[in-house]
Amino acid sequence: MKELLEHLEKRLGKKFDEADVRMAHPLVLAYIGDTIYDLFVRTYLVMAYNVPVHQLHVKAIDFVRAKGQADTLRHIVRFLTEEEQDIVRRGRNAKPGTMPKNASVADYRLATGFESLLGYLYLTGRDERLFEILDYILDNAKEGGKGERG
């Protein structure tokens, strides 16, 4: 993942350093974190299941919907560093302009905190920690049956 950031930094002639990431609005971190998580989940599902696209989409929903992300955060929070918990807190407390119809306010805010964490780890180039968290999520999903429908 670092290669993508390095490529863009070279192309744009601008370095996106840790201070820039720390100063970024939590919703900006959540914006990129949502994409990182979605790409990870979809790639995992394509590699793990030989099923039609509609079934892949149904499986992906379990992971990427706000309730799924909130539940994931509830499971991993005890493994997060204080710095990571602070990023989650900032994301959770950010005031979004809109709310989804199919999620509670509490779940949506936790999901935003989770996405902020993933965005932060990605943008700071902490791939090893990002993959550690994502692997933990997949291990939990296998044990709990998440994404195993159909």
Distance of CA 98 to the CA centre of its chain: 19
State yes or no: is 107 an active-site residue.
no
Q: Can you give the C-alpha Rg of the chain in angstroms?
A: 15
- The rounded distance, in Å, linking the Cα atoms of 114 and 103 is 15
Query: Out of 17, 34, 38, 135, which one is annotated catalytic?
Result: 34
Q: How many CB atoms lie within 10 A of CB 13?
A: 6
- The rounded distance, in Å, linking the Cα atoms of 29 and 118 is 8
Instruction: Give catalytic residue positions.
Output: 34
